[in-house]
Structure 1
Amino acid sequence: MLGENHALMYEYPELKEKIHQLKLSDEAFAQMAKEYHDLDHEIRGLEVNGVPTTDSRFVELKARRVHLKDQLHARLVNGKG
C-alpha cells in the first residue's frame, strides 16, 4: 500500500522495548535505525506526495530499506547483523 508506515515499532510491536533499549545502548543499532527511519520517511513522502523520481531510484531506496530492516531484525532477535 502506498504511504504505509514501516517504522520499526509498527513492523515489530512485540519487540518495542528491545528496540528502545538497543537504540540507547548500541550505537551501531541506533545509526541503522535512524537510517531506516529516514529512508522510510523519504519513501513515504515520494509515494504520498507523488514526487517525481526514477523507478530505479525508488527501487534502490526500497531495497536499502529492506536490507536495513533485515540487519536490524537480526540484531533484535540474536544480537547479530
Structure 2
Amino acid sequence: MPIEQLGPYRVEKVLGRGGMGAVYSAVHETTGDRVAVKILAESLADDPNFRERFGTEIETLKTLKHRNIVELVGYGEQDGLLFY
C-alpha cells in the first residue's frame, strides 16, 4: 500500500531503498518545507532488534550537528510505521 501521509508530511516519491527501509521525498503540510523521510520497512517493524537499531539511528542523529549531515527535524510512529 503506498504511503501518502506521515504525521505532518505529505509523501511524494521514493528516493531510495535499502535493507532496513526506504527514504522518501516529502513536504511539510503547514510550512511547505521539503524533507527526506526514512521509514523502517514494514517487514521489520515488529522485530524488537530492528526497532532498537532504528531508535539508535534517531538518537545518534539528535546529537550530530554538521553542515554536511542532514538535520533531524522530527520522528514518530504512525500505523505501526517508524519514521524520521
TM-score, normalised with respect to structure 2: 0.29
Higher strand share: 2
TM-score, normalised with respect to structure 1: 0.30
Rg bigger for which structure?
1
**Larger RCO of the pair (alpha carbons < 8 Å, separation 6+):** 1
Higher helix share: 1
